[in-house]
Structures are given as C-alpha cells and as structure tokens.
C-alpha cells in the first residue's frame, strides 16, 4: 500500500461498472431531451470523461463551471465562482456532474446559480455522496456510491491539488491530514 493511502475504496473496475450503469440510466432518461452536462471543475473531470462516453445520445453538450471552497480537507465555507457558464441554457436539460457531495454547500450554491439562468430542467449526478456529512438537504438524482465519513482521493479528487491522477479511489491516510 502506498504510504499516503489508508485503503483502496473503489477499484478501477468498481468505478467503470457503476459509471456504465449510470450512463445507461441517463441515456434512457434523456433520449428526447437537450442534455447539457455541466461538469464542476476540477474534481469531476475523470468522472465526466468516462460518463459522457457511456451516454449514447446525439443531443449531448458539455460545459464547465469552476468553484472553489476547499483548502486541505476542510471546507472553507465560502464558495467562489472561478468560471461560470457563458451560454444561454434556456433550452437545455442541465445535468450537473459532480465528484462528491459532502456538506452539500457546493451543489446547493451551483444549483442556485444555474437555476437563475432558467434551464428547461436541472438534475444532479454525483459519483460519491457522504450522507453523514450533509449540512443542507441536497439530493443527487443519480448517485454512484455512498462513502463513509473519510477523506477520499483519486479519480479526479485531490488533497491539496495532489493525487487527482490516481485511476482508483483511495482513502487518505489520516497521518497526512
């Protein structure tokens, strides 16, 4: 085991099986819609790139928002929009693609910003969810896995900007926090 890891939580196979079935569900639900995937940078990039390949519809577009709220393993509380959407989404069925829900503050904030732009519909797809940590009532319409109250890294997710490139999802060793 690499010394920064306490454990491997999800292997590449676990992730790809689940992403395939999420892709099938989304394909089915959005067949007759104008799907716009809104990926929240930077944590969701690997999830987005695998998920979009499993969405087998032609009417599928992608855009990005970038928000920041974390330093180390603790939420700073204040969320900053570093990059907003800049196209008209009034004709789009928006699906937010996020890596993980912890307190729910990030998704709550991002959902409000997107809702103010009056999309045709708005739903949330989160790869991971830490239900024990919710502080707001945020629910993912599509959810990959539940996670215990531990800090996870890899598959896009970072600890101080490192480890995003791990192809699996691991639990960060407490000695590093």
Residues facing 37 on adjacent strands: 62, 95
Catalytic residue among 6, 54, 98, 102, which?
102
User: What does the alpha-carbon distance between residue 169 and residue 172 come to, in Å, rounded to a whole number?
Assistant: 9
What is the footprint of ligand IMP within residues 47-86 (CB under 6 A)? 69-70, 75
Among 23, 43, 104, 170, binds Mg ion (CB under 5 A): 43
Binding segment for Mg ion among 40-48, 78-86, 138-146, 162-170 (CB under 5 A)?
Answer: 40-48
User: What does the alpha-carbon distance between residue 81 and residue 71 come to, in Å, rounded to a whole number?
Assistant: 15
Is 146 tagged catalytic? no
User: What does the alpha-carbon distance between residue 33 and residue 44 come to, in Å, rounded to a whole number?
Assistant: 23
What is the footprint of ligand IMP within residues 149-168 (CB under 6 A)? 151-153, 157
Q: Which candidate, 153, 174, 172, places its Cα nearest to that of 164?
A: 153
Minimum distance from CB of 135 to Mg ion (Å)? Answer: 16
157: partner contacted, choices Mg ion, ligand IMP, none (Cβ within 5-8 A by kind): ligand IMP
Binding segment for ligand IMP among 5-13, 18-26, 46-54, 102-110 (CB under 6 A)?
Answer: 102-110
Contact 9, 170 (CB under 8 A): yes
Q: Are strands 60-71 and 142-146 parallel, antiparallel or unpaired?
A: unpaired
Query: Catalytic residues, which ones?
Result: 102
């Amino acid at each position: 085991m690499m010394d920064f890891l306490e454990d491997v939580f999800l292997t590449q196979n676990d992730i790809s099986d689940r992403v395939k079935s999420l892709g099938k569900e989304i394909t089915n639900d959005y067949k007759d819609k104008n799907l716009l995937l809104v990926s929240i940078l930077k944590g969701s990039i690997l999830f987005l790139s695998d998920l979009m390949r499993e969405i087998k519809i032609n009417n599928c577009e992608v855009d990005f928002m970038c928000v920041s709220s974390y330093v180390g393993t603790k939420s700073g509380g204040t969320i900053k929009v570093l990059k907003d959407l800049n196209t008209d989404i009034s004709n789009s069925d928006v699906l937010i693609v996020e890596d993980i829900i912890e307190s729910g503050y990030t998704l709550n904030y991002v959902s409000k910003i997107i809702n103010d732009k009056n999309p045709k519909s708005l739903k949330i797809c989160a790869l991971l969810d830490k239900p024990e940590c919710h502080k707001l009532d945020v629910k993912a319409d599509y959810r990959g896995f539940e996670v215990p109250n531990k800090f996870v890294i890899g598959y896009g997710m970072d600890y101080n900007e490192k480890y995003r490139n791990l192809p699996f999802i691991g639990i960060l060793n407490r000695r590093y926090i």
